[in-house]
Amino acid sequence: MNQSLSRPTTISYYLVILLLLATPLLLVWQHYGMVRTIEISPAQPHGARVADDRPELKGNSVAILERTPDALVMHCALGTVATYGFCKMQFLLGRPGKGIDLSGFDSIDFDLRYTGRPPHLIKLHLMNFEPEFSTPGDWNSQRFNEAEIELPQQATFTIPMNVLRTADWWRSTHKVPLSKSYPRLDRVTAVELSTGAVPHGQTITLAVRSIRFHGKWISKTALLMGLVFAWIACGILGLSLGLLHFRDSLSATKSRLEHLAAVDRERKAAEAAREAALAEAVGLARQRSNFLAQMSHELRTPLNAIIGYAQLLKRERHLLNDRQAAGLATIHESGQHLLTLINDILDLARVEAGRMVLYPAAVHLGTFLQVVVDIMRVKAEEKGLAFEYALAPDVPAAVTVDETRLRQVLLNLLGNAVKFTDRGTVSLRVSRLPSTAGDDACVRLHFEVADTGIGMSAQQLGRLFQPFEQVADMPRRAGGTGLGLAISQQLVHLMGGHIDVASEPGKGSTFRFELPPRSPPAARPAHRRRARSSAMKASASGC
């Protein structure tokens, strides 16, 4: 059974999946992409200019800026007057006092050409404007983030941003505490390339083809911190949604339990009502069965007198005229038919009331069956039907059965076969089924009654064994009550067997039933049960 997820759970799953996908993608993007570049070149000079020691130190060094299509060139003639003579090339970044933020950049690419006597030294200054130390218009008040570079042989090289340090002279001049002496690059207003500590009186040429600052839009540390906060927020949100879902689940569970309790109460009430109705129905059925049994008995007593006197009068038929003889015959036949109906009703009432008693006894099976066959053969031949009878040779001569009830079952089945067959054959076959013991007392008997009559449909078979139910057409229902098969089924069940039937319309019917080694003892009076207990134990031993 599929159960859809709740909305909070679905949202939590989507958030987790989104973060699982976004985390590696952002890390890969931060490593390989997310790059921003600031370039200084002849195409983007950023207000390039040169300065020397003349205005600041009263020196005699001279710096000249030359612009070419390929480079920005500084020609510097270092003088000897100033203690620390210098020339420098400056590039202005951003607005004055605002600058640009280079704190997220991690490397600088240079393409420089240096001409002069060794050592080839330059100083890189990134000027950072800080309101607490810097004063607008005072160039030296800005923080000097400095790195001294010894130029390599090749013109292009790269340095990391973390080589920059706050210049010692600037920190001491502005009395900056050690806790704030770290480099700051959040408001860089200028980039300077200054001559390093080289001998005085020489001429130096510095050609800048390009300076490129490479950085990330988001630093790796900031990205990791953001992802950590995102995971924490997702966890808190998921926990909150989970708690909400848990609260809703508890409420739903409580409602469901209350509903189930109400359903259980209704079920118990319905079950109690059903049991009461069943008990009432059983009581009514018992009363009906008792009533039928008593009434059948009361009706049968005067009916026996009527039939008896009719039989006595038939002996003196020579004293009666034709009309009186015909009337007497009608009285006798009607009485016999009525007696049969009353006996059937009495038997059904006894079975339903649980008062049917079986009396198994040793019976010569061949003789018993021959009597039944003789009775039914006469009826079959009256209708022009062939009657077949087969008794398997391995069937034992003597068996323990209730002779009366077995005869009643066979006569009912054979009588119906003759009644509903217009042409063809009615047959009775008795055989022996294999048993676990080799004793004849443990044999199982198989009875089969077959005919070539009208047959029955599946719908008719479903109603076949219902009391007072007749599935044949109206002309064939005459003279019957629909109790014969119901009584036969109950009797076979009491004897420990079960009737099966196979039939098709127009192809006849076949009834089969089996009997165990002996009929199981039904409920019987205590004195009969004690009198037969030893015989029953002896018959059941070994089976």
The more confidently predicted of residues 217 and 509 is: 509
Backbone angles phi, psi at 56, to 5 degrees: -90, -45
The whole-number pLDDT of residue 357 equals 80
The whole-number pLDDT of residue 482 equals 67
> Which of 495, 372, 507, 360 has the alpha carbon at shortest distance from 430?
372
Q: Final residue of a domain: which of 176, 192, 216? A: 216
The whole-number pLDDT of residue 252 equals 87
The whole-number pLDDT of residue 435 equals 65
Residue range 322-348, pLDDT digits in tens: 788 888 878 877 777 777 777 777 776
Residue range 32-69, pLDDT digits in tens: 777 888 999 999 999 999 999 888 888 899 999 999 99
Give the number of domains in the chain: 2
Q: Which residues contact 373 (CB under 8 A, 6 or more apart)?
A: 387, 389, 428
Residue range 289-312, pLDDT digits in tens: 677 667 766 776 787 788 887 788
Answer yes or no: is pLDDT of 72 > 90: yes
Locate 91 and state its tokens.
Answer: 């590039």
Q: Which residues of 432-450 are buried (b: 16+ CB within 10 A; e: fewer)?
A: beeeeeeebbbbbbbbbbb
The whole-number pLDDT of residue 480 equals 53
User: The CATH number of the domain where 510 resides is what?
Assistant: 3.30.565.10
Place of tokens 């770290």: 182
Q: For residue 205, which amino acid is it?
A: T
Q: Which residues contact 230 (CB under 8 A, 6 or more apart)?
A: 19
Answer yes or no: is pLDDT of 542 > 70: no
Average pLDDT of the chain to the nearest whole number: 82
The reply to whether 338 falls in a domain is no
The whole-number pLDDT of residue 541 equals 38
The reply to whether 236 falls in a domain is no
Place of tokens 């980039």: 191
Other C-beta atoms lying within 10 Å of the C-beta of residue 245: 17
> Which of 158, 171, 38, 26 has the alpha carbon at shortest distance from 99?
38
The reply to whether 426 falls in a domain is yes
The reply to whether 504 falls in a domain is yes
Q: Final residue of a domain: which of 216, 241, 258? A: 216
The reply to whether 502 falls in a domain is yes
- Indicate the length of the chain as a whole number: 543
Q: Final residue of a domain: which of 216, 238, 254? A: 216
Residue range 457-501, pLDDT digits in tens: 888 887 777 776 665 554 544 555 567 788 888 889 888 888 999
The reply to whether 461 falls in a domain is yes
User: The CATH number of the domain where 113 resides is what?
Assistant: 2.60.120.430
The reply to whether 386 falls in a domain is yes
The reply to whether 23 falls in a domain is no
Task: Give the rounded distance of the alpha carbon of 171 from its chain centre.
Answer: 73
The whole-number pLDDT of residue 538 equals 36
Answer yes or no: is pLDDT of 286 > 50: yes
Long-range contacts of 297-306 (CB under 8 A, 24+ apart): 297/346, 299/342, 300/339, 300/342, 300/343, 300/346, 303/335, 303/338, 303/339, 303/342, 304/339, 306/331, 306/335
Q: Which residues of 274-303 are buried (b: 16+ CB within 10 A; e: fewer)?
A: eeeeeeeeeeeeeeebeebbeebeebbeeb
Locate 267 and state its tokens.
Answer: 């079920």
The more confidently predicted of residues 219 and 503 is: 503
Domain that holds residue 73: 36-216
The whole-number pLDDT of residue 387 equals 93
Residue range 125-142, pLDDT digits in tens: 999 998 888 888 888 889
The more confidently predicted of residues 428 and 96 is: 428
Q: For residue 208, which amino acid is it?
A: V
The whole-number pLDDT of residue 229 equals 87
